[in-house]
Structures are given as structure tokens and as C-alpha cells.
Amino acid sequence: MIGGSERAPVVVVIGRYPVVTTTFIDREIAALRCRGIAVDVVALRRPPADMPLSTAQRKLGREVDYALPVQWWHLVAAGLFACTRLRACVQTLWYLVTRVHPDPRSRARTLLHFGEGVVVAWRLRRRAPSELYAHFADRAAVVALVASRLLDCSYSLAIHAGADLFVHPVLLREKIEQARVVVTCTEANRTAISARVGASLGEKVSYIRHGLPLAEYRPPDARPGADQDAPPLVLAVGQLREKKGFTHLVDACERLRDRGHRFTCRIIGEGPQRRELEAQIRAAQLDDCVVVTGALPQDDVVAWYRRASVFALPCVVTPDGQVDGIPNVVPEAMAMGVPVVSSDLPAIRELVTDEVDGLLVAPGDADALAAAVGRLLDEPRFAAALAGAGLRTVHDRFDVDVNVDRLVERMWPDHFDRREAG
């Protein structure tokens, strides 16, 4: 039975948490708790000390049980605990290490994650969780699978777009087979999962969107732009990784400047491409109009949405196959009334319809991106119409309360039924 403080908790298992890129999980946890579902969080690692978390995320972090790093006596205690469940421990270890792995290094990591699962099970032994709920089909799923077997409870899985799905899936079939319920956030993900594991097993995966607390994402009464002394702002938010396509955005900005457009561009985010992007900006002599700010707390990101005239996120498919789902910043921008330009990729098409509630361009096409952004800067009425349609789309499809109700109905229908009866 799920829900209520007197009942056993659902324990969310995740790798590193909280971080600036997992606000969608923060929202889900908050919404589940508002529905009376007891939710605890176990993270394998803490966020970096310098990560700019919001006040809400810092508060959430104080409630997280961190499994790593492990004190030596914790390892001893976890080992003794495993001995009390020796049969389940040996069977689970044998099951995992005898599955097909892409290479020896992956098999070694599975062994490591097995050990982490034993530690997590030991930490949870007195809480008697009703279920472990893993976010991402990465090591968190292995840890949750192992811990659930040692604790004799079920585990469920939420799969999001990531390298663990599109590039280096390890034990994906096993993670899905062993899970009680599997959900993913886009139809494109579900299609990709079915292609990996087969249609029959893929049918186990349900598609449920993320959501926004729409009351917290309200467009400003007046969009900046009337002040002729301030150039319009082109805003981009995301990890500074190849799949986000920010190098193409910088190329597009160079084209816009050369065509006489007056604007500024702010890229909010952190990641391995930062030095490359800053060097590209300097080489193109765009320092006066394009800036990379680093990651910011969510409250500051929302404040920048209010100032933006255009939101651009030109995602691409990388050579090794990495690709975004629906980046959460796109519906955030739409909810804030900002007209969006993004890439014509399968998951993004599930949210944005070209020329209806946003503009979509071919991935990696800097000329098309510059033309789309320039059009929105030059045609304020058209931009406002797209922004209004985008706002309606997000309210129709991305309400966190509606989507979490769907999640609860799928994962814990007994709680949903009792809530409706009440």
C-alpha cells in the first residue's frame, strides 16, 4: 500500500542529486508528496559544492540520504547484512554478471554497482520501503534492482533520454524485465527502447510526460523589446554539450550580426564545451553580444525567461548517437511566453509544431537557425502569435498535476483509486 506518513515509503534512487538539470524530478517528488505518497530519496553522490542550486533544491538536498562515499565500517555492516540474505545476494550477483555486456569495463562497473546496491539496501533495511523507484536507466537502475531483491520489494524505473539509452545501453533489457513498471517521458524514447529490446518488451514501457508547476511559470505583463536602447535578448539554456547544438547557435549569431541584426545572446549552462564555445565566440568577435554565463539557479533562469525576446535551443544528434528528448527548458520558455526556435527532432516535434507554436529548423543548419531567429526578431506580431500558441500548448500538455496524476494511476493505481474515492 502506498501513501500517507504511516505507510512504507517509495524510495527514489538516483545517481547525483539534486543538480540543476533534474528540476523535473524535483517537481515530480513535490507533486507525489502533495498527493499523500511518502517519498524518500537516496542519491549515490552529492552535487558539486559549487553547483548553483536554488533555495528549494538546497532544502531538498538536506533531505536526501547519500550512499557515497562509504565509511569502512558501513562496508563491513553492509557485508554482514548481505550475509543474512545470502541466497538473494548470490542469485542477484550471478544474474547480473552473466548477462551480456558490451565490454569488460561495463561488466566491472556492474560489479561496482552491485556493491552500491548492497550498501543502499543496508541503509534502507529499517525503512522497509514499499518500492524502489529508479530515475534513469543507468547505474541507479542496477542499484535499485539489487537493493529491491535484498529488501524483498519491487522496483520501478523511469527512463529519460541519455547516453544510457541511445549510446551505451548496459543491461537495458534486464532493467526493464525486472522492473514492475517502466515509464518514459517521450514517445520517441519509447520507440527507441522498443528498437533496442524488441516490441514485446517495449510494450511494457508507458509514455508519461514531465510537467511544470504552471502557477510558477507566468509570462510577464510586458515582454522586453519596446525599449529601443536595449537590444532584444536571444536566450539559450542547457548543458554545454555537443547534443545541445550551441556551436551552431554561435554560428547563427555571427550570421545575424553580419546581416545587421541588433541583439544580445546569453547561453546559460555549464559543461565540457564551455572553453570551445568561448573560443568560438572570441574568434568570431562576438564578445560584445554573445556571452556564456555558466549554470544558474532555477529562480535566476526564470528571471532571464522574463527578459528574453526569443528562446533558441538547436539540439543535434551527435556522431555517437546522443540526442535529447524534450529538453525541459523548452516548455519552461513556452510557459513564460517566449517564442521558441528548436530543432526538427522526433521528441521535440511532440511538443513544438513548426509555424504553429514555435519554429523548427534542421539540426545543425546554422543558416536556417539564423533565419528563424531573425524572423522572430523582425516580426514581433508573428513572434507574439507563436508565443501565445506555445503557452496554450504547454498548459494543455505539460501541467505537472495532470501528468503526475497519470504517473500515479499507472504506477500506484490503488492510491489513485483511494484518492478519487476520498
Mean pLDDT across the chain:
92
pLDDT value for 81: 95
Contacts of 131 (CB under 8 A, 6+ apart): 2, 10, 11, 148, 153, 154, 155, 156, 180
So what's the pLDDT on residue 416? 54
Nearest partner of 158 among 343, 58, 29, judged by Cα: 29
Segments of the chain scoring below 70 in pLDDT: 1-7, 163, 222-228, 415-422
**Would you call 55 exposed, middle or buried from its count of C-beta atoms within 10 A (0-12, 13-18, 19+)?**
exposed
Cis peptide upstream of residue 129 (ω within 30 degrees of 0):
no
What DSSP assignment string belongs to 327-343?
Answer: -THHHHHHHTT--EEEE
- Residues 144 and 153: their CA atoms lie apart, in Å, by 10
One-character DSSP codes across 79-135: HHHHHHTHHHHHHHHHHHHTS--SSHHHHHHHHHHHHHHHHHHHHHTTT--SEEEEE
